């Protein structure tokens, strides 16, 4: 068996135990999947290597994926460097073609990025069963691992940050590795001269502004303000907010709105709903939330949640289009709201 446990992945990345064959990187955290594949690419295709020996492919764009990958894997490098083929957004449909390729053998290293794979999925089974293949799961980080990531980045940049500031950063950003990395990079730029980050810096730069922009996005979508939504999305993307964070927060919002609408249909007033229990809403958003509770039907809310879930899947399959997919989905939802 060549399935790596989560605890073994860091050691493998530092010193992979194969120099040719297949590596399938998979999991629900697409930010970590990309980061892991990036690290593997740097190892097998270091700086200064022949650029022509590295091939990057998007699985969804390939008409005959098996044939193209086979040709690339068996094409010798012009200057003798290791041939590295990287395939993004792969699905189980690729497993059969890869199985044939593995049987004939190859001198190249093939790095395949995929979404969350179960033990029964063909792509994962192939990587776990072949002696020249490895399967690397990428699961969501917890607070400890994200704190460690942030500290490593700050230490590498020579920036000092205290424990409270690190804890505050992780609490604000949640468990998305890619978002955490982007926000830490932003803080490092801010501290280019002072080389110090405080808790207040974290709150000002990553907390209030990010939360306010996120509220603008979901409330604009929920109330049908298309122009305001488009502006808020542009501001969020420019600030480095990852599409996955926007989609996650939007799905939570419309899922909660479904519960609120159910309570409204059962006789509760909008004022009671936004002021009760876990549905309690900040005073600045109460008017917008009450309007959404009244205007959205249960059916339309279900459709909105389904659209967001489909968009999450689409962005995982094709990360290069995640900004466009996210914007398109939320604008479509805002259009429904405008008609309510």
Residues 187 and 212 in one domain: no
**What's the CA gap between 90 and 111, in Å, rounded?**
10
The whole-number pLDDT of residue 241 equals 77
Q: Which residues of the chain have pLDDT under 70?
A: 1-3, 6, 79-80, 140-141, 173-176, 207-211, 239-240, 277-280
Task: Among 197, 226, 244, give the residue marking a domain's end.
Answer: 197
Same domain assignment for residues 217 and 186: no
Q: Are residues 168 and 236 in the same domain?
A: no
DSSP class of 76: P
Nearest to 334 by CA among 297, 294, 304: 304
Rg (CA), the chain: 23
H/E stretch holding 34 reads: helix 30-44
In a shared domain, residues 317 and 218: yes
Same domain, 330 and 227: yes
Q: What total number of domains does the chain contain? A: 3
Is 92 in the same domain as 132?
yes
Full-model pTM: 0.53
Are 185 and 225 in a shared domain?
Answer: no
pLDDT tens for residues 141-161? 677 788 888 999 999 999 999
Is 113 domain-assigned? Answer: yes
Give which of 296, 316, 6 is closest to 142, Cα–Cα: 6
The answer to whether residues 126 and 184 belong to one domain is no
Whole-number pLDDT of residue 1: 47
In this structure, what CATH number is given to the domain that contains residue 217?
A: 1.20.272.10
35 in the same domain as 132: yes
Rounded to the nearest 5 percent, the helix, strand and coil shares of the chain are 65, 10, 25
103: domain CATH number? 3.40.50.300
In a domain, 1, yes or no: no
> Domain range for residue 75?
6-137
Confidence at residue 103, expressed as pLDDT on a 0 to 100 scale:
87
In a domain, 181, yes or no: yes
């Amino acid at each position: 068996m060549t399935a790596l446990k989560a605890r073994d992945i860091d050691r493998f990345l530092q010193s992979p135990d194969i120099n040719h064959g297949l590596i399938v990187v998979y999991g629900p955290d697409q930010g970590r999947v990309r980061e892991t594949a990036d690290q593997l690419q740097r190892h097998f295709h270091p700086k200064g290597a022949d650029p022509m020996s590295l091939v990057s492919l998007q699985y969804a764009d390939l008409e005959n994926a098996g044939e193209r990958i086979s040709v690339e894997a068996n094409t010798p490098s012009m200057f003798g460097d290791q041939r590295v083929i990287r395939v993004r957004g792969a699905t189980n449909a690729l497993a059969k073609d890869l199985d044939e390729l593995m049987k004939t053998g190859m001198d190249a290293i093939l790095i395949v990025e995929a979404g969350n794979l179960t033990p029964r999925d063909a792509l994962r089974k192939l990587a776990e069963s072949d002696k020249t293949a490895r399967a690397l799961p990428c699961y969501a980080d917890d607070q400890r691992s994200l704190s460690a990531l942030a500290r490593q980045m700050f230490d590498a940049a020579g920036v000092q940050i205290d424990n409270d500031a690190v804890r505050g950063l992780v609490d604000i950003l949640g468990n998305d590795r890619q978002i955490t990395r982007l926000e830490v990079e932003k803080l490092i730029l801010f501290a280019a001269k002072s080389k110090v980050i405080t808790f207040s810096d974290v709150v000002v730069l990553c907390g209030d502004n990010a939360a306010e922009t996120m509220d603008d996005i979901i409330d604009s979508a929920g109330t049908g303000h298309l122009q305001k939504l488009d502006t808020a999305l542009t501001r969020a993307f420019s600030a480095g907010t990852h599409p996955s964070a926007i989609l996650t927060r939007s799905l939570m919002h419309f899922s909660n709105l479904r519960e609120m609408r159910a309570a409204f249909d059962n006789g509760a007033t909008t004022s009671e709903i936004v002021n009760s229990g876990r549905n309690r809403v900040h005073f600045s958003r109460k008017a917008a939330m009450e309007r959404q509770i009244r205007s959205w039907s249960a059916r339309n809310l279900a459709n909105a949640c389904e659209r967001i879930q489909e968009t999450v899947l689409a962005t995982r399959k094709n990360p290069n289009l995640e900004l466009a997919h996210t914007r398109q989905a939320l604008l479509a939802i805002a259009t429904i709201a405008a008609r309510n």
